[in-house]
Amino acid sequence: MRRTTSRARRPVAALAAIGSLAIALTACTSSQPSDSSGDGSMSLWIWPGGLSETVVETVTAESSGLEVSVIGDDFKQKLLTVFTAKSDIPDITGVKGEDMPYFLQEPELFTDLNTLDIDDIVGEFPEWKLAEATTPDGRLLGLPIDIGPAGLFYREDILAGAGMPTDPAEVEAATSTYEDYFTFGEQLKAATGAHLEVSAGGLFGKVMGQSETKFVSPEGEFLGESDAVRNAWDLAVEAWDRGLVAGIEDGSPDWASAVNAGALPMLSGAAWYAGDIKSNAADTTGLWRVTQMPGGPANIGGSFLTIPAAAEDKEAALEVIKALLSPENEAVMYTETGNFPARTTTFEQPGLHDGDDFFGGQDTVSVFVTAAENMPTVYNSPLDNQVAAPYYTELRNVETGKDPEQAWADAVAAAKEALESS
């Protein structure tokens, strides 16, 4: 799953100054908590790359009194430490998307944002993303900073050399189902020797991201033998059996070499994945394009801003959040950090739909907007990751020769045990 820290992109000037606040923002970097002393100061915690430095500077120029601490290492654990100690709790804190299911079990730690004045902003965020920060009884714990709609990235030059479609609409039509996608991949491999997927586990995870259920139900029931999980498994194994999987680690040196050499000319991933491709394959500028994922949209990643219940001035904290997540600042954040905007009115900002030179001048933002508009709403259990882990382990075993049916049986057994021992 996506890191919610983003790799730095080229910095840009702020598109617009935010409205005035009664609070000022002083950016600082610290591995220790900031102390809210009750004297009108306010503290915010975020991890490296969670917010754009330019946005922080823009807010700083318009306000006074907020200290921003950039917390490295295990952000969730450090947050839990101050919650447990009931001391030095920040007034505003980021929560990573993968950590929100855990904190939904402890809603009393946070302010229900529905009790504050959010009517002017809440409707501008996708309902499916808000659902990820909403408790079963309707308490909203956070507003999204970013989302991770996925797309299919591909090398236009390699597809053209293989005599295959290259226009994004044509590639989307030719790969709309997984059977179409695999057939497309076989044709591509026959012409170029290239693989379609990085790993069987990677494909499994993306197919699961397209499902409306995962590994554990809201009632805590085991879903590891459901049709959704078995379908994702079967597709991953089929891709391996058809010779379409490279069997390497995503983001590894082998991955970077394969991407640069054109041995992996099609890569599916979230919007932020474009930054990984750019930073590892700079010499391929202008050769890439992007279209919709086979099988439907998937979200990978995305984080939130929350107000702990201990915050003294919750309305003032909300105004800071509104400023940080203004359409202007969300646009800057995307351009600077690659965090894809969660606030839908951001896409009306000037220049956001200008073509991306790395993608041959294509308006890539519109591709991800379309994916976000059609995203399924998914329940994320705090136990999903530990229950899912055996499936990825066993798919690696399949890549090294293990019988897929035995691997499936072993994955299910280990996943059940993981749930029962939680």
| Integer angstrom CA distances of residue 30 from 45, 46, 68, 73, 307 | 10, 10, 9, 11, 20
**53-62 vs 327-337: helix axis angle to the nearest 10?**
150
Burial 81-120 (b: 16+ CB within 10 A, else e): ebbeeeebbbbbbbbbbbbbbbbbeebebbbbbeebebee
pLDDT of 420: 96
pLDDT of 31: 33
Pairing of strands 146-147, 340-341: antiparallel
What single-letter DSSP state applies at residue 59?
A: H
Domains of the chain are 24-147+302-350 (3.40.190.10), 150-299+378-420 (3.40.190.10)
pLDDT of 40: 62
| Integer angstrom CA distances of residue 341 from 153, 267, 306, 336 | 19, 22, 17, 12
pLDDT tens for the chain, residues 1 to 422 = 333 333 333 333 232 322 323 233 333 333 333 344 445 688 999 999 999 999 987 877 676 688 899 999 899 999 999 999 999 999 999 999 999 999 999 999 999 999 999 999 999 999 999 999 999 999 999 999 999 999 999 999 999 999 999 999 999 999 999 999 999 999 999 999 999 999 999 999 999 999 999 999 999 999 999 999 999 999 999 999 999 999 999 999 999 999 999 999 999 999 999 999 999 999 999 999 999 999 999 999 999 999 999 999 999 999 999 999 999 999 999 988 889 999 999 999 998 999 999 999 999 999 999 999 999 999 999 999 999 999 999 999 999 999 999 999 999 999 999 999 98
Of the candidates 168, 133, 46, 102, the residue with the CA atom closest to the CA atom of residue 342: 133
What single-letter DSSP state applies at residue 361?
A: T
pLDDT in tens, 71-117: 998 999 999 999 999 999 999 999 999 999 999 999 999 999 999 99
pLDDT of 7: 34
C-alpha 197/C-alpha 182 separation (Å) is 10
* Residue 401 CB coordination number (10 Å): 6
Burial 152-190 (b: 16+ CB within 10 A, else e): bbbbbbbbeebebbbebeebbebbbebeebbebbeebbe
**Dihedral sign for Cα atoms in the order 112, 116, 119, 120:** negative
Q: Look up tokens 């946070």; give the residue.
A: 110
C-alpha 422/C-alpha 4 separation (Å) is 25
C-alpha 346/C-alpha 332 separation (Å) is 10
Q: Look up tokens 């990573």; give the residue.
A: 96
pLDDT of 381: 94
pLDDT of 58: 80
C-alpha 201/C-alpha 227 separation (Å) is 17
**Dihedral sign for Cα atoms in the order 330, 331, 336, 339:** positive
- Contact between 209 and 377 under an 8 Å Cβ cutoff? The reply is no
pLDDT in tens, 398-407: 999 999 999 9
C-alpha 311/C-alpha 267 separation (Å) is 43
User: What is the Cα 410 distance to its own chain's centre?
Assistant: 29
- Contact between 290 and 151 under an 8 Å Cβ cutoff? The reply is yes
Sheet with 150-155, side-by-side order of all strands: 266-270, 150-155, 288-291
pLDDT of 337: 87
Q: Look up tokens 């293989």; give the residue.
A: 162
Of the candidates 199, 192, 181, the residue with the CA atom closest to the CA atom of residue 159: 192
Of the candidates 304, 331, 334, the residue with the CA atom closest to the CA atom of residue 44: 304
**53-62 vs 314-324: helix axis angle to the nearest 10?**
130
Q: Look up tokens 């790993």; give the residue.
A: 199
